[in-house]
Chain A
Amino acid sequence: EVQLVQSGAEVKKPGESLKISCKASGYNFTNYWIGWVRQMPGKGLEWMGIIYPGDSDTRYSPSFQGQVTMSAGQSISTAYLHWSNLRASDTAIYYCATAMGGPFNYWGQGTLVTVSS
């Protein structure tokens, strides 16, 4: 059974750094793209980017390029999303999802990130 289990909710202050995680199981992690999606309060889904764990090839949405960094740890089948300088506008739920042969077809449960002074 394919599962994506994300790290827990975070509360941070503006300017702080943060790395959230997404642990995959039930499939060969290195062989499929895994991506991140933002959902701001009361809003729709926004595609942030994807990473191919096999070679760390990464594609970012222009809206998120330079704002976040995606990485993947092959040995522990875990994808990461990192901020070095959080802003209040980063407050959102972040979902990871894996694309096995096409669109995102398995989703994580989401990680709520709250940035507030």
Chain B
Amino acid sequence: QFVLTQSPSASASLGASVKLTCTLSSGHSFHPIAWHQQQPGKGPRFLMQINTDGRHTKGDGIPDRFSGSSSGSERFLIISSLQSEDEADYYCQTWGTDPWVFGGGTKLTVL
């Protein structure tokens, strides 16, 4: 069973950087993932997909402050120069697996 594990919460100060982690379950470390952002009261928005080599492809209009990387079974979302509107829930997702899977989400608080 493919499982994506995320920390429930994270926090960082306005203007700082933060690195969110999505860990793939054992035996699935060679799988790309996607990151989605869900701001309070809104629907999800696709941020990027991250390949196993760390290359990432961003969605339409996603600022350069958002980037991604990869290391082993971990996939990272890095947000630099944090702004208040970055306070949101962030979900990682697989595709092509059976079934597709979402991580439990990380609630990011901007202090």
Contact = CB atoms under 8 A, between A and B. Distances in A.
B76 interface: no
Contacts of B91: 44-45
A110 B39 CA distance: 13
Interface string B78-108: 0000000000010101110011111111000
B5 to A, nearest CB: 12
Interface stretch (A13-21, A72-80, A95-103): A95-103
B34 A107 contact: no
Interface stretch (B22-30, B43-51, B64-72): B43-51
Contact of A107 (B45, B49, B89, B95): B45
Interface residues of B, number: 24
Contacts of B94: 103
Given A44-B104, A95-B44, A104 B99 contact: no
Contact of B100 (A47, A105, A106): A47
Contacts of A104: 34, 36, 44, 46, 93, 95
Interface string A77-91: 000000000000000
A35 B45 contact: no
Nearest to A96: B43
B28 to A, nearest CB: 15
Contacts of A45: 36, 38, 44, 91, 93, 102, 105
B59 interface: yes
A49 B46 CA distance: 18
A62 B2 CA distance: 13
A25 interface: no
Given A60-B99, A108-B43, 17 more contacts: A35-B100, A37-B102, A44-B89, A44-B104, A45-B91, A45-B102, A46-B102, A47-B100, A59-B99, A61-B99, A93-B43, A99-B95, A102-B49, A103-B93, A107-B43, A107-B45, A107-B46
